[in-house]
Structure 1
Amino acid sequence: MKNVKDELQHIILRDEPFGEGNSLKKTQAFLRRYAEAGVCTEKHQYLKSEETKAILVFAEAQNLFYQDEILESNFISEGAEQRVYRLDEARVVKTNAGIFYEYWLDYFNSLLIHNYFFPSTGYTFLGFKVINGELFAVVRQEFVVANEATDLDSVKQFLNHNGFQLKKNNDYFNSELGLILEDLHDENVLSNTGVLFFIDTIFYIRPAFYS
């Protein structure tokens, strides 16, 4: 588990050569530097509204606004935090307002952690889009077809094997990694022929992550 934590800390806390198309890490690195410039304790001392203003300037400078039209005719489903649209036969596009996170940085950290644990359903960050005056992140993901009901006991066993313990309802925590993983109900974890696909995850980083 130590190696896992080291790898996750490297992903979250260090700048990497971004490479062409790696806008997810580029945006997370910008938001992390923005947060570091505005804190004097471990607690962020700025407002999400201020962070959003900084994102708008950053996205304009880095050409990170998603220009394609998102058609309501391609709408599939929605949850409290996002809407899902078919992009093509194999992929979907999701728009997320980040409402489950105190800061946009937390949302981008969660995406990076998801991609580490669940690369088969990894997110590709396509850019930001302003819809009806509200800022959304636009991500792309593989379209997963479920052919059976998800066994939540199997989800629990899988996560237990990987160090995540059930906290309550469908929320888990890993005390060694300093991570919380929430909202793993049967619409966010799909099953196809006995294989679990984690399509929507919410990761939160706790102080123990940094130790």
Structure 2
Amino acid sequence: MNDEIQHILSGKSQVKHGDFIQTVISFLRRSEATSNLVKEDKYFKEKETKSLIEFIEQNKFWVENINLENYISQGAEQKVYLKDDKSVLKLNDSIYYTSWIDYLNNLLLNNYFFSDTAYELLGFYKSENVLYAVVEQPFVKATEKTDLELVKQFMLSNGFENSRNNDYINRNYGIILEDLHDENVLTQNGFLFFIDTVFYII
């Protein structure tokens, strides 16, 4: 893996809005080190979530002031709310990931590759016994439909090859980036904005 990316994921280097994300990852890694469960164990994420909630409680990392009336949309993994005319709040339950660390690494990778749509982790929110990360992201209004061929060209120029459909892989970095369809990559005045990224480390 690229040294700079490795340093960001390990907390040795900084990325936009990365401090709080790296703090939470650092806690989870310490907690993981004392556990006898491995990530493949079906109870791993359940135990990880329990530890994370205790950490949130101790440090008062709950976000309470979400205006649920400003709901915009939702997908399988997150709910989106308009904060103001410049940003949105996203509540993500990390369902696409086998661990919260993997989800938080996704945020760091997004902020490294796509700093113009960087996520800022504000804290966490709990509803109906489901834990959500609360992130703020710049609001992007599309002005035209995204040409997926241009997305492919952009990704190729940055070392990512198309693996299948709208999924890409960078073998040098050891990273997979999935679901780059025209709802996750918006076009505003001719520029591509990656608003919903799903990064995985190989």
TM-score, length of structure 1 as denominator length: 0.88
1:59 alignment partner, one of 52, 56, 60: 56
Partner of 1:50: 47
Cα–Cα, structure 1 residues 12 and 21, in superposed 2: closer, same or farther, change >3 Å? closer
Q: Counterpart in 2 of 1:170?
A: 166
Which of these residues, 10, 13, 30, is aligned with residue 13 of structure 1?
10
Q: Provide Cα deviations, 1:59-79, integer angstroms capped at 9, x if missing partner.
A: 1112211121331x2011111
Identity %, equivalent residues: 48
State yes or no: 1:149 paired with 2:145: yes
1:36 CA drift (Å): 3.5
> In the alignment, which of 186, 189, 192 is matched to residue 190 of structure 1?
186
2:8 is equivalent to residue 35 of structure 1 = no
User: Which residue of structure 2 lines up, in the alignment, with residue 77 of structure 1?
Assistant: 73
1:21–1:60 Cα change, 3 Å: farther
Instruction: Provide the C-alpha distance between the structure 2 equivalents of 1:164 and 1:129, rounded to a whole number of angstroms.
Output: 34
In 2, Cα distance between equivalents of 1:21 and 1:188: 22
**Partner in structure 1 of residue 200 of structure 2:** 204
| Cα deviations by residue, 1:16-65 (Å, 9 ceiling, x for unpaired) | 69xx9932221122122323443698x56561000000001111112211
What number of residue pairs does the alignment pair up? Answer: 200
Supply the RMSD in Å over aligned alpha carbons: 2.2
> Structure 1: which 5+ runs fail to align?
207-211
Question: TM-score normalised to the size of structure 2?
Answer: 0.92
Query: What's 2:136 paired with?
Result: 140
Look up the SS of the partner of 1:166 in the other structure: strand
Contact 2:7 2:13 in 1 (8 A): no
Cα distance in 2 between the residues matched to 1:110 and 1:183:
13
- Aligned mates of 1:58, 1:40 — CA distance in 2: 19
Q: CA deviation at 1:87?
A: 0.3
CA distance in 2, matches of 1:9, 1:44: 22
Counterparts in 2 of 1:174 and 1:36: CA distance versus 1, 3 Å:
farther
What residue number does 2:95 align with? 99
Q: Please identify, of 103-112 and 58-67, the stretch whose mean Cα deviation from structure 2 is larger.
A: 58-67
Label 1:129 to 1:146 Cα distance change in 2 as closer, same or farther (>3 A).
same
